[in-house]
Chains A and B, each alone.
Chain A
Amino acid sequence: MIISRKKFLKLTGISMLAATGERIAESLAGTAPSAGPGSPRALTAKRWAMVIDLQKCAREDGCTACIDACHRTHNVPDIDNRAHEIKWIWKEEFKHAFPSAHNEYQAEHIESLPVLLLCNHCDNPPCVRVCPTQATWKREEDGIVMMDWHRCIGCRYCMAACPYGSRSFNWIDPRNDIAQLNPDFPTRTKGVVEKCTFCDTRLAKGELPACVEACPQDAIFFGDLDDAGSEIRQLLKSEYAIRRKPELGTKPEIYYIV
């Protein structure tokens, strides 16, 4: 579906009005806007990380609940051209996601096991290292690799540097291909790079990432790697988990239980 400019303005306009209304109501009630970084409701951690249970994820064939939720939440366009695709989270066969774990005699159900891919929020991110404008940077307080769409010059150096293909570039104006606009999240312009942000805006409101919340199988776990008592730390202790291309020293923070 293509959204007309008028409809777009109306949608965003209404949402802005609604947001202002809410804020006025809040200030009348004597409470500061409750959502936002540093607000008491915000979820915080020293080092956010994710554990994905691939067997659970594969239970329901062709499930795209997390992908749909993420892309809807973040106004990710659905572009019908492989070259111009924008993806924040998607599925890839095991043999492509983990090329070094591939072997030709491996059972087909392993080789073609769907693996959820997204930005690894590397602890040592090469994309951040190369960006000439700091438009992408690692947030020191919780390790999220962030993106500033207003600063990015669209040089795509970060895409050459990311060894995981996690980044997308807006080759064309994405706004024409957003099926259903989410007025609470910005849209991007053509000519900038984007990727998963670990739902930093949802975390600030005290909500878990959209994919975690949407998963009907509870296959995605999200938590603080720095906290020995966290659920993900317990999982990593009890299950065998692998990461993508750890040999590159990027310290990816998405763990996969095979």
Chain B
Amino acid sequence: MFMFEKALTGSRKYWTWIACLAAVVFLAFLAYLRQLDVGLGISGMSRDVTWGIYIAQFTFFVGVAASAVMVVLPYYLHNYKAFGRVTILGEFLAISSVTMCALFIFVDMGQPARVLNVLLYPTLNSPMFWDMVSLGGYFLLNAVIALVTLSAERKGIAPPKWIKPVIILSIPWAISIHTVTAFLYSGLPGRSFWLTAILAPRFLASAFASGPSLLILLCLLIRRLTGYDVGKEALRKLAVIVTYGMILNVFFLLMEIFTAFYSKIPEHMEHFHYLFAGLEGRDALVPWMWTSVLLAAVSLVLLMTPRFRNNQTLLPVICIVVFLSLWIDKGLGLVVGGFIPSPLGAITEYAPTLYEISITLGIFAIGFLMVTVFYKIALSVREQYTQ
């Protein structure tokens, strides 16, 4: 099956890494069994904050998945050759991220056994239905593209012609997954924090900064581990993409803040108040949000100075800074902040419990496992080809 034999041979280091990930997944599985037994009451969520870290991670990783378009588009549409060695890595990252997203949705469900109801009673007016369609389609598109291009490469032949339109289709599709994910939030009356037309653009901007950052980190990691080099040029260009993504993201955020605080409409300001200053003495997220702001500022300075951005030793640091800043902003503040205060003005805070954190880490581990195995396969094919 799909060159999986390549994943079954590896060094001791490889197997140790796989075993560690498997252990994390196993612990998460135990935690999930407990959640199944007791209910979502084992989480930190409540009547007021009904979505927590699961849905926040889902939202964040839809962005990572969508960001594959940032390597696919230049390579296939503009024939930008420097991305030749990184595109497949981007596609596999997208496949793994979409899988994580599906898992995050699944563990968040109160009645997971009824998941098929979404397909049995398709509801066209629910953004959640469209999210499922777009994510499923994106998974399929990327799986087909990666499989077909990689097996052609293995045989040393050009990929079949019909794959080109499929690849082109995957480009707007990538934009669609994050747009629909933003629509999950931005169409809800009474949730003023999300009720903003800039939400989808902001989601995309932050995705195009965080996704490529993660991709750069993965590229640097495999260069160190295996010697497979995507090339200086590719890394530089990715860093430029991160720069633009980050600038746009911060710009969009400032626009939000202007609108809320110049209009002085209370419902639009109070969520920002909660996140950045706390309300009624409740301020659990304040240190996080300011950390995110600080990291964003630092990353902008570093990214916008070519000397720093092109410095290969500094690059991973910059990427980590960008990634952390956006992870806090979107993987924590955005979803939880929208629920505080509640429609009745209650300030109920949220913090994930150990169970939630274990399950979340387990899904991260599954993502890492997939990336590891996929990258191993891709690199093995390439090695054999270049030899």
Contact = CB atoms under 8 A, between A and B. Distances in A.
A156 B50 contact: yes
- Interface size grouping (class) on chain A: 35 or more
Interface string A123-152: 000100111111100000000000000011
Contacts, number: 142
Contacts of B346: 96
Interface stretch (A40-48, A60-68, A163-171): A163-171
A1 interface: no
B271 interface: no
Interface of B: 38-41, 43, 45-48, 50-51, 105, 108-112, 114-115, 117-118, 120-121, 123, 125-129, 132, 184-185, 187-191, 338-339, 342-346, 348
Contact of A171 (B41, B132, B342): B41
B362 to A, nearest CB: 20
Of the listed residues B47, B48, B115, B121, the one surrounded by the most CB atoms of chain A closer than 10 A to its CB is: B47
A154 B110 contact: yes
B48 A165 contact: yes
Contact of A248 (B105, B115, B189): B189
A83 interface: yes
Contacts of A193: 110
Contacts of B187: 130
A129 B126 contact: yes
Q: What 10 pairs between A and B have smallest CB-CB spacing?
A: A154-B110, A163-B190, A191-B110, A83-B46, A190-B39, A171-B41, A172-B41, A132-B128, A248-B189, A132-B126
10 contacts: A96-B345, A131-B126, A132-B129, A153-B114, A155-B108, A157-B126, A165-B342, A165-B343, A169-B110, A190-B39
A160 interface: yes
Given A130-B128, A160-B51, A160-B191, A191 B39 contact: yes
A151 B125 contact: no
Nearest to B117: A133
A172 B41 CA distance: 5
A92 interface: yes
Given A130-B126, A157-B128, A190 B110 contact: yes
B109 A153 contact: yes
B41 A84 contact: yes
Contacts of B39: 170-173, 190-191
B114 A165 contact: no
B343 A163 contact: yes
Nearest to B49: A83
A213 interface: no
Of the listed residues A154, A155, A161, A250, the one surrounded by the most CB atoms of chain B closer than 10 A to its CB is: A155
Nearest to A150: B114
Nearest to A83: B46
A173 B41 CA distance: 9
B125 A129 contact: yes
